[in-house]
Chain A
C-alpha cells in the first residue's frame, strides 16, 4: 500500500475482509501473480530448481536484464518471453522477484 493517509475506501475494504467468513488476509503484493508465471522455468519465487538466474538479483538488475532481452534480436527463449510483457509489467515482476527470491526467500518463502 502506498497510501499516506488511510482513505475511507481502504477502511471499507478492510471491513469487508473482516466480515469474510473465512477470515481476513492482506491483499497479495502487486506483481505476485505476474511473477508466478516465471516460476515454471525459474522455480517457485525464482528460487529454482530450473534456470537459476533470478535469485539474488536486485530489482534494478532484473529490470535492466528483462528490458534488454525484450529489445535485442531474438536468440534465446527469454528474448521471446520478455516481448510478451509491457514495461510496466516487467517492473512489477522485477520488484516482486527481488523481494521474494534469494536471501529474501528465507523469511517469506513457505
Chain B
C-alpha cells in the first residue's frame, strides 16, 4: 500500500543482495566445517531436535531428518478425529517449515541399517548418511498378545495416528444401540498415560450424543488403577458416564482374536464385541530387523526401551548416539516415571540439542535442567481437564527413598482441580503452540 520505497522493503532487498554475494563463501565454509547430525524419526522429538539444532547452532550444524512419511500425523487430539469433532488435516503436520531452516534437510526414506561403529545410517534408496551425532526418535512398536491372532487392520489400536485413526472412526460410527466397545489400557510405561482414559470418555460421549443409551464402553486396564488424572477420569467413569463405561483394572491381556473380535484377560473374557480397540503393550520401535540382536539397538532395558543419560540423551558406550521421545528410558525416581508424550519428546529434544551443540563446542553441559509435561484431555465434547508434571535434573530415589543415582526427579505433579469449558478451549491453544514449537 505504500507508494514510497519503505525502509522495510529496502532492508529486505539489501539483505537479499548481500545474501547473494556472501552465500557461496558461507556455503563453502559450512561444507568443510559443519558437524553432521542425522535425526531418525520426524515426530515431535525428531522435528524439535532438528529445529533447535538449527536455531541454537546458528547454521553450524548440518542436520538431516529422515522419516518414511511425507508428513507427521499427531496422536495429540486424534481422539477428536475418531469422534468426528476434528478432521485429519488438523493433526497432519508437514515438514515444509523445517525444510526452510538453515542447515536442515528433510529426507523421506526408510532406515535399513545403522553402523554405530563407523557412524553411518543406510537408507532404502541406497544412500548412506555419515554422522558426527545421531539422534534416534522412532517412537514405539507394539508387543502383541501372547496368544490368538491379532490383526490391527481388523481391530485398530489407533495408537499411531493416520489410517488407524480413520479405521477406528469408521468402526465407532457403525455402533448401534446395545453394542459394546471394548478397549485396553497397555501396561505402563506406554505412550500418553492419559490417552486411553481420554479415548474411553470421547467414545462414551459420542455414544451418548447419538442417544445410543444402551451402548457400553468396557475399559480393560492392564494396570491396577488409572495411570493419569485419577480425579478427572474417576469422576468421568463414576458419574458422567455411570452405567455406560465399565472400568476393569488388573486386566492382563492373554489372547486377542481380531477376526472374531474376542479378547481374553486375567479379569474376564469378551467375545463378538462390535468394536475391539486393543491397544497392545509397547516398547521402543525397532532399529533393525526383528531377528537382529536387541532389535537393532545397542542396548535395551528389560521393558524394551533404551536407557539414556539424562544430560545428553546419549546411550552408554555410544555418547554420540542419542535417543529421545517415547523410545527412551530416562532414569527417574521409583514410581515417578517421565511420561512418554509428544510434549515430553519436545522437551527432551531441546536438552539433547543443547548437549550436542555444547559437546561440539567443547563447552560444559548445562545441568540446570527442568523438563515438563503439560497437556489437556477432553472429558466431554465441551469440557477438558489438564495434567502438569515437572522433572528436575539431580538425585533420583528408589522405592525406599534412598538415592539411587542421577536422573530426572519429578518435583511436581498435578491435575486440573475442575474439568470445564475453559480447559477445553485452552486445549486447542496448547496443541497449536506445541505443534508450532515442534514443526514450525
Contact = CB atoms under 8 A, between A and B. Distances in A.
B361 A84 contact: no
B357 A77 contact: no
Interface in B354-390: 354, 357-358, 360-363, 366, 368-372, 374, 386, 388-390
A20 interface: yes
Interface of A: 13, 16-17, 19-25, 27-28, 32-34, 36-37, 39-44, 48-51, 74-75, 77, 80-81, 83-85, 89, 92, 110
A77 B58 contact: no
Contact of B432 (A16, A27, A49): A49
A98 B429 CA distance: 22
B28 to A, nearest CB: 13
B437 interface: yes
Contacts of B391: 84
Contact of B350 (A36, A74, A80): A36
A48 B370 CA distance: 21
Interface stretch (B49-57, B189-197, B270-278, B329-337): B49-57
Contacts of A77: 374, 386, 388, 416, 426
Contacts of B374: 40-41, 77, 81
B430 A80 contact: no
Contact of B433 (A33, A43, A81): A43
Contacts of A81: 372, 374, 388, 390, 412
Given A36-B350, A50-B436, A80-B414, A25 B372 contact: no
B52 A36 contact: yes
Given A22-B361, A25-B361, A83 B412 contact: yes
Given A36-B52, A42-B433, A84-B392, A74 B414 contact: yes
B370 A34 contact: yes
Contacts, number: 134
A75 B417 CA distance: 7
B52, B411, B433: residue with the most chain A Cβ atoms closer than 10 Å: B433
Nearest to B372: A37
A22 B434 contact: no
Contacts of B368: 33-34, 89, 92
Nearest to B360: A22
B283 to A, nearest CB: 26
A34 B370 CA distance: 6
A13 B358 CA distance: 12
Interface string B398-440: 0000000000000110101100000000100110111011100
Given A22-B361, A84-B412, A40 B433 contact: yes
Contacts of B34: 22
B388 A50 contact: no
A43 B437 contact: yes
Nearest to A75: B417
B347 interface: yes
A18 B417 CA distance: 53
A80 B388 contact: yes
23 contacts: A20-B362, A22-B33, A22-B132, A23-B33, A25-B361, A28-B354, A28-B358, A32-B354, A33-B354, A37-B371, A40-B347, A40-B433, A40-B438, A50-B433, A50-B437, A81-B372, A83-B390, A84-B388, A84-B392, A85-B390, A89-B368, A110-B54, A110-B55
A49 B436 contact: yes
B94 interface: no
B102 interface: yes
Contact of B58 (A16, A25, A51, A84): A25
Nearest to B363: A27
Contacts of B346: 40
A102 B267 CA distance: 55
Contacts of B357: 25, 28
A48 B366 contact: no
A32 B51 CA distance: 15
A83 B351 CA distance: 20
Contact of A13 (B347, B363, B392, B417): B363
A84 B132 CA distance: 34
A47 B334 CA distance: 36
Contact of B369 (A20, A22, A34, A48): A34
B364 to A, nearest CB: 9
Contacts of A28: 56, 354, 357-358, 366
A34 B357 CA distance: 16
A15 B60 CA distance: 18
A32 B433 contact: no
B388 to A, nearest CB: 4
A13 B363 CA distance: 8
> Which 3 A-B pairs have CB atoms at the shortest separation, nearest pair first?
A84-B390, A50-B433, A80-B388
Given A40-B346, A77-B416, A81-B374, A17 B433 contact: no
B35 interface: yes
Contact of B362 (A17, A32, A85): A17
B343 interface: yes
Given A40-B434, A81-B372, 15 more contacts: A13-B362, A17-B361, A20-B362, A28-B358, A39-B433, A41-B433, A50-B436, A51-B429, A74-B417, A77-B374, A77-B386, A80-B414, A83-B414, A84-B388, A84-B411
